Structures are given as C-alpha cells and as structure tokens.
Amino acid sequence: RCVMAQDDCLFCKIVKGEVPAEIVREGERTLAFRDINPQAPTHVLVIPREHVRDAASAAAADAGLVDEIVREARAVAESEGVAETGYRLVFNTGSGAGQTVFHLHAHLLGGRGLNWPPG
C-alpha cells in the first residue's frame, strides 16, 4: 500500500522512524505517540500513517480514516486509564485555530480536569 510521505513533514518522519517519538499504540493505518510538550498528564497524538493535511481534508477524502483515529484514541484512553474519568479529543484545523503541524492529528487529553469552553 502506497503511503504518500512528505519529505518536509515532521509527523511523516515520525511514521518513518526518522524522528524519535514515544509510541503508545500502533494501528494498521494509525500511530499514537506522546506529545513532546504535554498539556495534561495524558497527552497523546493520534495520527494517520499517510499524510493528510488536516481534519477538513480527511473528512473530504476518507471519512473512514477519521473513524479509525477516534477508535484508536479510545483504545489509548483505555490503556492510559482515562477512559472512565473522561478525555478530550481536539483536531486543530488551520493556523487560525492553532494548528502548527500540518499532518492530521487528534490530541487526546486527559488525567486532569478540563474546562469548557477551552478559550
């Protein structure tokens, strides 16, 4: 299966093993690893192995992929022990919303109280 890696993409490099990451779960089409700058006791990024720019293009191109990311996030939440207490999934979509890495990722945040709205 062809995975369209982008040479200049940090998360593609993590998928290829060219940049180290603390991987917590590997799926057929996904990878989950700890955020380098955690904002909660559990802060894991769940990404597709293939390069997809953001949640908007993922939904347009392959809705099944988003399903799989949400399923993988649930499995990580269970193994991290935050499934019961609650966790937050965030897809920052576009630079105006704080997206800095343009390879689709779900932030999985848990292990502390999370305010809403986030601000």
């779900």: which residue's tokens?
106
Query: Is position 105 annotated as part of the catalytic site?
Result: yes
Per-residue mark of binding to ligand 5GP, 36-55 (x: CB under 6 A): xx------------------
**Residue 12 interacts with Zn ion (CB under 5 A): yes or no:** yes
Q: Quick check: 89 binds ligand 5GP (CB under 6 A)?
A: no
Give me the least distance between CB of 42 and ligand 5GP, in Å please. Answer: 13
- Considering only residues 61 to 80 of the shown chain, the ones binding ligand 5GP according to CB under 6 A are none
